[in-house]
Structure 1
Amino acid sequence: MRSLLRDGLLDELHLTIHPVVVGGGKRLFEDGTGHIPLTLLAGRTLTTGIVYATYGRA
């Protein structure tokens, strides 16, 4: 996914964001990825606090 995003080959990102703070794991956007302008296309929050967000290139 990172290489596709870096090379401009992704039109949309569908993210599931959980309201939990953890100290480890893989970063979605690495240092050195550069600036990638995105626009929020849609978003929905569930009663559990989970957020479904769809982003497209700006």
Structure 2
Amino acid sequence: MEFDVTAIFPGQGVCRLRVAATSAEALAAAPALRDGIVVSARAIGGGRRRRADFPLPLF
């Protein structure tokens, strides 16, 4: 699962990253966020959205 993460890195500022993790709880262990403080995290595309419309017959 991918997350859109906003983190503060001391001495470097604020960064917005896309991080892959197995769950929201596992974000803190992600190597990209090693020295940062996570401010917000939002899951991206947990699954494909299915269209609700059905094909019409062509007669």
Normalised by the size of structure 2, how large is the TM-score? 0.28
Structure with the larger strand share: 2
The structure richer in helix per residue is 2
